[in-house]
Each structure stands twice: as structure tokens, then as C-alpha cells.
Amino acid sequence: MPLRVLRLLGVVCCCLALAGCGGGGGGESGRAIIVNSAADPASPPAGVVTLRSAIAAAQPGDAIVFAPGLDGAVIELTQVGEAHSVLLGEAYSGMSYLGYQERDYGRSGIYARKDVSLDASTLAHGVTIRWAGGDANPARVLAVYGDLTMHGVTLSGGRSVAEATGSADQPYTLARGGGLAVWGTARLTRCTVAGNRCVGDAVASRDRGAYGGGVYADGLEMTDCVVSGNIASGYGAAGGGVYSVGGAANATGRGNDADLTRCTVSGNRVTAQHAYGGGIFTLSGGPSNLAAMYLTNCTIARNLVEDNPDLPQAGQYYYRGGGLYMGGGSLAAISCTIAENEVNGTPATFSGKPNMGGGGVAATVGNAHTVETVWVQHSIVAGNRMNGEAADWFAGSLLDFVSLGYNRFGALDFSQILAPVPDWMMLSRKHYPKVGDQDGVAAAAALDLAGAQLSATVTSAGTDAGRPALLWYAPGAASVDQAPAHKVTVPLVSAGYTGFGEPTDDFLNHALARVRARYSATLGDGFGAGFGDKAGVTWYGPRVTWPSNPQNAAWVAFWRDLDAEIGGRLGSEGLNDDYWASFASGPLGEHLAMTVTTTTRTVDLTGSDQLGVRRPRGSAGDIGAIER
């Protein structure tokens, strides 16, 4: 799916007060409202336009722009514009999901219940909007119940805190979006969101979790942005930098894809007992919808997920996704660098599943899948760690992990990927490795770590807390001039069979025999003898809820046990497309028939890198976000 094309607002106006500009501005019939003061009164004197007064006066189609004299200015917000900011949010009755309803998000420096356009694109140094109250007088910087378009703006200093409301319906305000909370679509271009915090309560509660230390948004499109040095903390917290819901209220059943292009998400942190997504948490549509997050030419680095040391460990505790966590939907990473992120915590097993995973990227693990597909192309995912050990990508309960070639991975973990399902033509889940892929690659080989580019203005709160935040890495020797300058065709295998759900099903015996025949040199002629006769162990369905159907337990256990028996001797992926392609379409024994198909995807270099440099610069392109 192509990335959205963002329409940037161009504003030409000579007015210095609230005025119509005869066709210029934010819409076909809108005005340009020019902010000419960095002060913060809601009702400024005649001739003075503050940001607060401009947002209050803006009508549909208006664009709020900034006078040349505010180039590089800091607008200090000193007033809580709304103590009970209302946006949509998920609601529950006990553990029952009630859908999305209007909720109290608490204190915001500025709150707008309408579409808002803030355009500082004509200012060489942009403009900064900072909440001045700090921890003593907390408020997020900006909340918008509508769409937000923002260009050339920095948001900093925000504090979103779960506070008691005295209401039985919602006892605490929602701690979401320390810098920015948007229920609508947030379209950010050349913006920075840095140094914000989201603080939840120390008690287990769905409403008291902290989501989005920097940004919390339903729909999200970001281009050429930096999200760094933000924190989400509490008992449960997610998305230290960004929490993307992904179109939860979409009535079609499909959420809105989130797009991040040429962005850096670095040096953010989640501190909690249920801690997910140090840099990014993507829900990709919410419980009732499915969508995807697209990352193109992005750097996600030095983010941190860690245990909350202020809370005693009791019950269950989880730590996943140092760089990015998939809570639902799908993910595409194209020419990205995901490096030096970390997950730290106390390892445990709950309900037979690991509580930790993915120093770089992790997906949810569940009895009924809520994550769909991952596509990775021309990307570096290396140098990420979990409790000090290499842990780059934890696939979780994915339907499909799809490589489109020329990736550099460190350590891949497919241990929890969903078992094969014949009914969906999904016997092959792990479409990896493909042309040009390598795993077991060290960060020092994939990246020029010593030449990492650091920010001159933003301080990290992640793995390198207190130091300048990272912006990007140049590629290392293992990544330079590795991707062809021409288009490459990548084959993807789908396989299924008929005859499942019957006591005559002996497909697993055929699968074991094929493993022995193809891999005897590595696994030995007698591999799998201890499994015995698997006739009658079959897949029953139903399609949607099959993981939770007890009848499928023996089927799932076989594939888990088979992976354990192979023990990494066939690579981190175990049985992949090459194995399933070795089956031919047609009869397979007396009661079974196979169907095997191969489709292709054609991939190419992105036109430019994270810095806008044209790819390739030499005879071949570089892997990762930066073209050397």
C-alpha cells in the first residue's frame, strides 16, 4: 500500500492580526491567522495575536501561521487551557470491551475541539511550544479532538498525569500523550516532540495506564520528524515516544494505516511492570479493526523498556519491544534502521509464554491472534538487547513474517509464531530468508556506530539517558553497496491441504518424512523418531478463534515440539518457504491433497534515504535508513 501524500499548507499573507487573506491560507476558503506574540494570554490586547487566541478564533479551513519575528521563538504555555480535555478512548466494563467513548484526558495547556493547522514552515528555525508548569503543575502541551496538521513545530515540557476525578464512571483522567494527544489524524511534518512525560498510576487499571510519552494519536502521519527524550511510566505503560491507535473508530472494520517517513524515534523510555514499546507502540486499528504501520527510511534507536523499580512485583509482569511493539495489525519496515534498543526486566513464563521479548521489535503473544503480517525490506535490525543478550526481533503470534530481501538482522526469535493452518493456505509462516538477507550480524558490522549523528538540542531518556539523543547512523561495511539498483523479484510460497479435521488425517507423518528426506545431512536419518505415529492429529478450526479451540492443542503442540527438536540447526527460521515449496500440488496419500502456489513481489530501492539523499549513490544501494 503506498504511503499517503501529505498536502502541505502554503500561507502567504501580509496581515499581522486576525484577518482574512483573500484565498491564501489553510483551505480553499480559509484565512491565515498570524501569531505575532510568544506571550500566552487568552485575551491579548488589540493588535496582538497569541497562539492561544489564534486557536480559539480559528474556523474550519483556517491556518495558523507565525510572524517572521517568531523564528526560533519559544512559546511558553503558562495556563491550563482545559482541566478535563475530552477525546475518544476505549472503554471497559470490567474486562468487557465497550468500544470507544468520550473520556476525560485531563489537563492540557491548549485544548481544541476542532481541526487545527499550525504552520511554521516559513520560519528557518521553526517555533517551539513548551508547557512551562513542569511536574509541579502538570499538563500536556496540546490536545486536539479533530485533525491536526502541524509543520515546523517543536512540542516539549508536557506532562500528562493520571489524576483522580471523583467520578465513579471514570475515577482517573487518562494519562495519554505527554506532548500531544489527538483523536483524529495527526499530520506532522518537520516537527520535534521531545522531553515530554506521561505518568500513570501505580495500581493495575486499564484507565490508569500511561500511553504515549510524546505522542498519542488515533490516526498518524509523520514526515521528517524527531520524537526523542520522552517517557511513559506507571504500573502499565506503552509507547515511550509514540502510541499509535491506527483508526480505532473506523466504521468499515479497517483502521487507518499509520505512516512514518524519514523520521527518528530515539532515546525514549517506558518504565512499568507491564511495559511495551520503548520507542513506538502500534495498535494498528484497535480491538475491532485492522490496519498497518508503515515505516520508511526511519531510525528507531536507543529506546528502552524497563521494569518499574518503585513497584513490588506481584502477579504477572511483561516487558516487550524496546524499539517497537506491535499490539495489533501489521507492520512494514522499508529501508529502516532499528538498533541499540533494549528491554530489561525479570524473566518469567506465564500461561506457557515468555513475558519478555524483542529488544528491537516485538509483537503480542495471545491465544487468539491480534497481529497479522510483518514485511521487512532493505533494513538493519541489529545491536538490540534483552537483559544484556542479543534479541533483535520477537515475532510473537504473527500470521506471517515476510522478508522482501536484503536485510541485516542480529537475533530472530520465531518461537511463538502461529502454527501452520492449512485452511488459510498458511502452512508457511516464515518467508525468510530471501535474497540478500543475513542474520547473526553484529551492530558494529551493519552500522558505523562511532560515526553516529547526535542531536544538538535534544537529550535522550533512553539507553543513553542524559546524553545527546541519536539522530541516525551511517551504514557499516556489511550494509554498504549491498542492495541492487534494479528491481528484484521475491518469491513467496503459500501451501495448504484438504483432508484436515478428519480422523484419517496423517499429514503430520508426511511432514516429518519430508523433514528427514530434505535435511538428513543436518538432522540425521532418524530425526523425529520419538514423535511416533501422528495419524489423527489434525487441525479443526474454526478459522477465527482456532488458537483457543482445545481440539487444536495437539496440532499446535506438534509444531512447537518440532521447532524445539530442530533446535536452530536449520537456521533461526527452521522450516520456511524452501521446505514448503518442496511439496507438489496434488494427492498426498489416500485422503489428502496438497495445494502449493508461489507468488512474487517486486521490490526496489526507495528513491531517497532518511536525509533526502538519492539512492543509490554508487553502483548499488545501502541497507538501512542512510545512504552513505
The helix/strand/coil state of 565 is helix
Under the banding of pLDDT at 50, 70 and 90, the label for residue 29 is low
* pLDDT, tens only, 59-82: 999 999 999 999 999 999 999 999
- Mean pLDDT for 420-431 is 97
Give pLDDT, residue 471. 98
Neighbours of 209 (CB within 10 A): 25
* pLDDT, tens only, 427-474: 999 999 999 999 999 999 999 999 999 999 999 999 999 999 999 999
Give pLDDT, residue 89. 92
CB 455 within 8 A of CB 470: yes
- Mean pLDDT for 73-92 is 95
Name residue, grid cell 484419517: 504
Give pLDDT, residue 540. 96
* Among the listed residues 156, 134, 261, the one whose alpha carbon sits nearest the alpha carbon of residue 213: 156
Give pLDDT, residue 293. 97
Under the banding of pLDDT at 50, 70 and 90, the label for residue 98 is confident
Does residue 55 register a pLDDT over 60? yes
From CA 584, how far away is CA 559, in angstroms rounded?
Answer: 21
The helix/strand/coil state of 294 is strand
Give pLDDT, residue 407. 98
From CA 497, how far away is CA 423, in angstroms rounded?
Answer: 7
Identify the burial level of 295 via C-beta atoms within 10 angstroms of its C-beta, where 0-12 means exposed, 13-18 middle and 19 or more buried: buried
How far CA 256 is from CA of 5, 220, 226, in Å, comes to: 14, 8, 22
Does residue 287 register a pLDDT over 80? no
Cβ contacts of residue 328 below 8 Å, gap of 6+?
246, 282, 283, 284, 285, 286, 287, 290, 364, 370, 371
CB 626 within 8 A of CB 474: yes
Instruction: Find the DSSP H helices in 439-506.
Output: 443-446
DSSP 415-442: TTSPPPBGGGTBS--EE---TT-B-S--
Task: Report the greatest alpha carbon distance in the chain.
Answer: 89
pTM higher than 0.85: yes
- Mean pLDDT for 584-608 is 96
Return the percentage of the chain with pLDDT > 90, whole number: 85
Give pLDDT, residue 367. 67
Residue 267 is classified by DSSP as: S
Using CA of residue 189, residue 194, residue 196, residue 200, what is the dihedral sign?
Answer: positive
Under the banding of pLDDT at 50, 70 and 90, the label for residue 277 is very high
Does residue 5 register a pLDDT over 60? no
Identify the burial level of 345 via C-beta atoms within 10 angstroms of its C-beta, where 0-12 means exposed, 13-18 middle and 19 or more buried: buried
From CA 567, how far away is CA 570, in angstroms rounded?
Answer: 8
Give pLDDT, residue 369. 63
Q: Residues 66, 67, 72, CA angle at the centre, nearest 5°?
A: 75
Q: Poorest-confidence range of 11-25, 80-94, 348-362, 454-468? A: 11-25
From CA 67, how far away is CA 412, in angstroms rounded?
Answer: 51
Q: Poorest-confidence range of 159-173, 194-208, 217-231, 500-514? A: 194-208
* Among the listed residues 575, 563, 505, the one whose alpha carbon sits nearest the alpha carbon of residue 534: 505
Using CA of residue 188, residue 193, residue 197, residue 203, what is the dihedral sign?
Answer: positive
Task: Please report, in angstroms and rounded to a whole number, the separation of the first and last CA atoms in the chain.
Answer: 27
Residue 406 is classified by DSSP as: -
Sequence-distant contacts of 463-467: CB under 8 A, at least 24 apart: 463/267, 463/302, 463/303, 463/304, 463/340, 463/341, 463/342, 464/267, 464/302, 465/267, 465/269, 465/304
Under the banding of pLDDT at 50, 70 and 90, the label for residue 418 is very high
* pLDDT, tens only, 361-408: 999 998 666 899 999 999 999 999 999 999 999 999 999 999 999 999
Q: Where are the domains of the chain?
A: 16-70, 79-398+442-484, 490-601
Give pLDDT, residue 12. 27
Instruction: Considering only residues 277 and 27, tell me which one the structure prediction assigns the higher pLDDT.
Output: 277
Cell numbers of 101, please? Answer: 467513548
Cell numbers of 19, please? Answer: 484577518
Give pLDDT, residue 22. 29
Under the banding of pLDDT at 50, 70 and 90, the label for residue 9 is very low
Give pLDDT, residue 175. 97
Q: Poorest-confidence range of 20-24, 145-149, 526-530? A: 20-24
Give pLDDT, residue 169. 86
CB 322 within 8 A of CB 364: no
Query: pLDDT averaged over the chain?
Result: 93
Does residue 19 register a pLDDT over 50? no
